[in-house]
A and B are shown apart, each in its own frame.
Chain A
Amino acid sequence: MTTERIGSMKIIGAAMVASLAIVALLAPWLAPHDPTAAVAATFGDPGRPSLAFPLGTDALGRDVLSRIIWGARISLSVGVAAMSLTLAVGGLIGLAAGFFGGMVDFVLMRFTDMMLTLPALLLAMALISVLRPGLLTILLVIGLVSWTQVARVVRAETLSVSQREFVVAARALGAGSARVAMRHVLPGVMPVIVVMAALGTSGTLLLDAGLSFLGLGVPPPTPSWGRMIEEATAYLRTAPWLATFPGLAIFYAVLGFNLLGYGFLAARR
């Protein structure tokens, strides 16, 4: 690939993610209305987009634009936090398996294979329904079901880094295992972790939106893009804009992280 294009992918992606982060941070100032209060009497009959409410109002009389702006906050925090958890768990397991090899590798990787076999979304749904639904539960469950890919990639990368001369030399000189892993191997694995972080966030964003769509996300009235789409499905015919705008928001966020991730990935090739 040409460097020029890789650069532009990363830059566009970074700009999209940054714009989202700004919206999320400034939500209280950017949103024209309270995202949970009834600001128009459109009960049971959603309002069309108008000057006062550019994206319309929903069946509970709430301003859709304000809800999307506040939704950025919750979606981004869930996406990023769940991704961090995914990276921490998957990264540690992959690093340990690749670095120590042998029995450790065998046990950890068989366990990973087993987790890969389980249906992620189904498992997440089952766990959330059984545990108390809430922000923390959702973070933990998303983290729990999505670390396997990270573990595999990090393990492969660790294996190749561990065979490089400076690592082999450090171990031969008798440096402690943990020290070698942290000081020498981890930095070598870092680039792939960055890629996984960007792609992982787009994955967790989609999973979170999907769970919200199924009614298993953060409980209402917290505005969440996935739930907004779910609430809009009853009005597909009479108020199609209700489902359109929150979907665009998810699409925008996921695309931003994907551009960033694939941009980094292409740069490594």
Chain B
Amino acid sequence: MPSLLFAFLLLLSGGCRRTGAVAGPANRAGVLHLAAADDIPTLDPALGYDTASWAFEQMIFDTLVRYSAGGVELRPDLATAWEASSDSRRFSFHLRRDARFSTGRPVTAGDVKYAVQRVLDPKTRSQGMAYFRNIEGARAFTRGRAADVRGIETPDPWTLVFRLRAPDPLFVEKLAMPFAAALARQEVERWGEDFARHVVGSGPFMLQEWTGGQRIVLKRNPYYFAPSRPRLQAVAESLGVSEELQWLRFEAGELDLGAIAPAEFPYVMKTPRLKALTKKIVTLSVNYLGMNCQMAPFDDRKVRRAFNYAINKQKLVALLNGRAMPARGVLPPGLPGYDPTIRGYPYDPAKARQLLAEARVPQSFRPVLWLRADPTTLMLGQSVQQDLALVGIALDLKPVAWGPLLEAVRQPRTVELFLFGWEADFPDPENFLAVLFSKKQWGANNDTFYFNPQVEALLAEAAPIADREERYRLYRQAQRIIVSDAPWVFLFHPVTYVIRQPWVHGLVLNPMRPARLDTVVVAPH
């Protein structure tokens, strides 16, 4: 007992000291104070594959290319220029010579090659492996038959060449993912499994402190190649702070940027002073209710359309406090190739009842909707349940954890209905239509087991075409057929809202990635 008590006292004093150092009034300007509900899964670019990890990885690391601040155009980062061969199989990059890691060492082509090889190494267990398997020699390397990936060449320290097995017009987009961020090999090998907590990169910020579940602090990287960036001295995020608490801290002026707690959202929107401080962006993602096209009665298009008419999307948006826009098709607005002329399915329970009657759906029909067990998803599921009850369908909910849900939907003829979402990895219709509706993705991402030979042909035709307008034309045709076949109930596109303090300037939200914060300014206040 006494020793425990002592440990506890130590802990308390430690806690207080840290708080003072970060939140002290003296250095309020130049330091951006944030909070998040959950800890960050990792800072290791090979391992992170979620918004929270990427938000910090993007600030600490550089990739060859990255997206424009508020858009999805590729911009130079470590590479100043790049060329693609006409068959989209060979890509060369010219690196800038003034980039340095936060240790002071210059960044070279070998550091990017090392990072990609590390992702391809099975010992790393990276989720990014699939994006680089198309590189020549990647398979042999993964199987341990080669010490190097043959298709990645570094003719000199400032030039990097990738050769691919099959044409891929989207390959450069894959290099904009943090998986391909330049890594300092020495530091990675020095820390091993613990690298995630001692990351070293060449981005605008560097890691100063990360106390698991409590706090993370980034400070500026003195060696960053753009001397005017970042415009902040530091970013300090408190972790494990619920959305409700974040809101109160924001109101007290302790946070410079905050999420808006769901319950507070109506109040913020009704208060002009607060509303003026909000920023929003429609994300490149879509939430949907998938219907298994191989399981009766969902093999009947009439039933699938009836569900589209029966479900009240405006109500779902209201449940999300307006933080979503109703979907009319698969592709989100803001995605290159988006088709504004698609009308989708309005809320029309009478029409739904009529279609169900035509399809002769039996009275005893009691479908089961599989969904994740988190509170928000469960609320949406219960709303769908209420809507379907109004057209005479008794829906059961089956809440499960993410892993088993994923496992189950991939089995043929197992899950008839499921609530899912999809976020773009790169800004192209291919990343939605081919990944989610091609027969090649049965058992992987096409979990409705949808198949339409016309769509399949269009997808195959579009894939290798480098000319954007031509691709988009074909994808628009494919999307029209998909919407008319209705393998999904197209629900909504989530909208991100943040609120800033009046003294925070220069924040730009990105529809696909977390904001990089290197342009943000915190004025004295």
Contact = CB atoms under 8 A, between A and B. Distances in A.
Interface of A: 36-38, 43-45, 59-60, 129, 133, 215-216, 219-221, 230-231, 233-239
Nearest to B390: A37
A43 B375 contact: no
B386 A38 contact: yes
Nearest to B383: A60
Contacts of A221: 382, 385, 397
A148 B401 CA distance: 29
Contacts of B386: 36-38, 60
Interface string B297-322: 00000000000000000010011110
- 10 closest pairs, A vs B, by CB? A43-B318, A238-B263, A235-B263, A44-B319, A44-B321, A44-B318, A221-B382, A43-B319, A38-B386, A45-B266
Contact of A220 (B267, B321, B378): B378
A60 B379 contact: yes
Contact of A60 (B265, B373, B382, B398): B382
Contacts of A220: 378, 381-382, 385, 397, 399
B95 to A, nearest CB: 48
B319 A60 contact: yes
B398 to A, nearest CB: 7
Given A220-B378, A220-B397, A234-B244, 10 more contacts: A43-B319, A43-B383, A44-B266, A60-B379, A133-B373, A133-B400, A215-B375, A215-B399, A220-B382, A236-B263
24 contacts: A36-B382, A36-B386, A44-B319, A44-B320, A44-B321, A60-B383, A133-B373, A133-B398, A133-B400, A215-B375, A215-B378, A220-B378, A220-B385, A221-B382, A221-B397, A234-B261, A234-B263, A234-B375, A236-B244, A237-B244, A237-B248, A237-B261, A237-B264, A238-B264
Given A59-B379, A234-B244, A236-B244, A44 B262 contact: yes
B296 interface: no
Contacts of A237: 244, 248, 261, 263-264
B375 A231 contact: yes
Interface string B378-418: 11011101100100000011111100000000000000000
B257 to A, nearest CB: 20
Given A36-B386, A37-B389, A60-B319, A231 B263 contact: no
B399 A133 contact: yes
Contacts of B396: 219
Contacts of B400: 133
A230 B375 contact: yes
A43 B321 CA distance: 8
Contacts of A38: 386
B373 to A, nearest CB: 5
A60 B380 CA distance: 9
Interface string B247-272: 01000000000000111111100000
Contacts of A129: 401
A216 to B, nearest CB: 8
B321 to A, nearest CB: 5
A37 B389 CA distance: 8
A238 B267 contact: yes
Interface of B: 243-244, 248, 261-267, 315, 318-321, 373-375, 378-379, 381-383, 385-386, 389, 396-401
Contacts of B383: 43, 60
A133 B398 CA distance: 8
Contacts of A233: 244
A46 B315 CA distance: 14
Contacts of A236: 244, 263
Contacts of B262: 44, 234
B10 to A, nearest CB: 27
A221 B383 CA distance: 10
Contacts of B319: 43-44, 59-60
A44, A45, A221 pick with most chain B CB within 10 angstroms? A44
Nearest to B399: A219
A133 B315 CA distance: 27
B373 A215 contact: yes
A230 B375 CA distance: 8
A231 B409 CA distance: 27
Given A36-B386, A219-B397, A220-B382, A43 B315 contact: yes
A175 to B, nearest CB: 52
A43 B383 CA distance: 9
Contacts of A60: 319, 379, 382-383, 386
B269 to A, nearest CB: 11
A36 B385 contact: yes
A234 B243 CA distance: 8
A234 B265 CA distance: 11
Contacts of A37: 386, 389
B393 to A, nearest CB: 14
Contacts of B315: 43
Contacts of B320: 44
Contacts of B266: 44-45
Contacts of A45: 266, 321
Contacts of B263: 234-239
B276 to A, nearest CB: 21
B315 to A, nearest CB: 6
Contacts of A234: 243-244, 261-263, 375
Contacts of B399: 133, 215, 219-220
A221 B385 CA distance: 8
A219 B395 CA distance: 12
B525 to A, nearest CB: 25
Contacts of B385: 36, 220-221
Contacts of A133: 373, 398-400
Contacts of B401: 129
A36, A129, A234, A237 pick with most chain B CB within 10 angstroms? A234
Contacts of B398: 133, 219
Nearest to A34: B389
A198 B264 CA distance: 42
Nearest to B401: A129
A234 B319 CA distance: 12
Contacts of A216: 373
Nearest to B318: A43
Nearest to B380: A60
A100 B416 CA distance: 53
A79 B386 CA distance: 28
A97 to B, nearest CB: 34
Contacts of B318: 43-44
A235 B374 CA distance: 16
A37 B382 CA distance: 9
Contacts of B382: 36, 60, 220-221
A220 to B, nearest CB: 5
Nearest to B267: A238
A216 B321 CA distance: 26
A68 to B, nearest CB: 17
Nearest to B261: A234
